[in-house]
Amino acid sequence: MIPFIGEPGERGVHLIGVGGTAMASLAGLLIEAGHTVTGSDQNVYPPMSDLLAELGVDVRSPYRADNLPDDCALVIVGNAISRGNPELEAVLERRVAYASMPEVLKELYLRTRTPVVVSGTHGKTTTSSIVAWLLESAGHDPGFLVGGIPLNFGVSYRSGSGEVFVVEGDEYDTAYFDKGPKFLHYLPQVAIVGNVEFDHADIYRDVSEVERAFRLFANLVPRNGLLVVGCESELAMTIASDAPCPVTTFALAGDADWKLEVLSSDASGTRFRVHHHGRTVTETEGPFWGDGALRNALAAIAATEPFGVTGDELGSALASFRGVRRRFEVRGEEAGVVVVDDFAHHPTAIGETLRGARYRFRGRRIWGVFEPRSFTARSSVFQKELAVALAFADSVVVAGVLRTSRLPEENELSEEKLVADLRSSGTPASFISAPDDIVRFLRGEVQPGDVVVVMSNGAFGGLHQKLLIDLRDLRA
């Protein structure tokens, strides 16, 4: 159980690592409930830095023992925090009550609700956002916590007054004192396993360990619950075959309970028809380009079935869905050049993003600008796969690997080899280490009509805005 944190307005809650997507969202939920919240972090960047500023959270940086309020009732320890962090050491020495983010979310928000937990290697944030919007549009007033900011809501969290609480189910570890996956805490009543691949090389040794984590997650769904599975993912279907609960499947191709038929696709969006067991449920058009985006929408539709969302409600909500910040988000257009921001960092997600760009910006030259920042992207585990994925762009710029002591040099991604492999496949590519240098290079290379897709799970040195400003100055 979560230690007593007091009634709203009494002793506060302090979050170490408050700039993480889930941690900042939890801070918002606690403030919404009336609690006093403080936090600490370093290198906080948008959109969560913007959210924390809007919430009025006192974000203390860098980490220091005296950041810890004297009267806080509970400290929530983010999963990026490890022993040696001065605030964590102060928590342990002072014997202050502490817990992980998933523990707090479970006990304060999920245990008395009906959780819809969205998991999978790719597409979790967007799918969670679509589920929340479908339920909201149908009048269910759901609560939610997702790892991004759905543009329909403008925030990454909401307690809601309805029965359902939608949560993004991350397979990453929980905290330094709980190395199990976050999603094992979330009490899923309806669970989505959209796809399963190897990722998070810093905590999983191989794909069999990833599979085991998802098996444990699927095993949490009760017999009166529902497991929604993407049957185009072989591993996801293998996991579902042993599930002790009802299972429904979705796919764009092949046999599945839920199917999606594409009717047309252009710059305004994709028009499609959704079928359930062969019966047409809805026909609509929405801002979904490429197979990955359409699978996200279909998974979300399937997950709302237990809540009685009608075909008309689905069609209207999908047509009005506005997307998620940093997920294929157009940041601006200057001098005829469109700049897109995307969180993609796994080869599969990079490939889906660039293929989606070809649908949305048909006939235009696509630049792929990639920063190897996540642990897996920085490692050599996907050296070959990254070259294949990035080749869906017309031209590629690879930034320098974010180097840390956690990854031995011999296990790092080789930017030079990645560029050489791209060139050998016929894709023009350049290795330019620093973001400011990339901006200068692009300014001299891009032409009106080009689309620059910037892919990173970090701030990338503010490259998006710097490029737009440079292009604006160029036009002036």
pLDDT digits 0-9 by tens, 236-275: 999 999 999 999 999 998 899 999 999 999 999 999 999 9
Per-residue pLDDT, 49: 86
Do both 73 and 175 map to the same domain? no
* Counted domains in the chain: 3
Is residue 186, in this structure, part of any structural domain at all?
Answer: yes
- CA gap 473, 475 in Å, rounded: 5
Q: What is the CATH number of the domain that holds 87?
A: 3.40.50.720
Q: Which of 73, 100, 127 is the last residue of a domain?
A: 100
Identify whether 463 is part of a domain.
Answer: yes
CA dihedral 284, 289, 291, 295 (to 10 degrees): -50
Give the burial string for 4-35 (b: 16+ CB within 10 Å, else e): ebbeeeebbbbbbbbbbbbbbbbbbbbbbeeb
Are both 54 and 28 inside the same structural domain? yes
Looking at the fold, whether 304 and 431 belong to one and the same domain comes out as: no
At residue 405, the pLDDT reads 59
Are residues 58 and 126 located together in one domain of the fold? no
Structure-token match 């998991």, residue found: 119
Q: Is residue 6 part of a domain?
A: no
Terminal-residue alpha carbon distance, the chain? 60
Domain assignment present for 107: no
Q: What is the pLDDT of residue 3?
A: 58
Question: What confidence tier does 8 reach under pLDDT thresholds 50, 70, 90?
Answer: low
Range of the domain at 53: 13-100
Boundary of a domain, candidates 78, 100, 122 = 100
Dist. CA 30–CA 26, nearest whole Å: 6
How buried is 108 (Cβ within 10 angstroms: 0-12 exposed, 13-18 middle, 19+ buried)?
middle
In a domain, 5, yes or no: no
| Pair 128, 72 in one domain | no
Q: Are residues 58 and 161 in the same domain?
A: no
The closest of 172, 28, 214 to 109, measured between CA atoms, is 28
In this prediction, residue 7 carries a pLDDT of 64
In a domain, 108, yes or no: no
Name the DSSP class of 316: H
pTM of the model as a whole: 0.95
Task: Please tell me whether residues 19 and 47 are part of one structural domain.
Answer: yes
Q: Structure tokens of 227?
A: 């497991």
Q: Same domain, yes or no, for 148 and 290?
A: yes
pLDDT in tens, 102-113: 999 999 999 999
Do both 211 and 193 map to the same domain?
Answer: yes
**Domain-located, residue 106:** no
The pLDDT, as a whole number, for residue 401 is 86
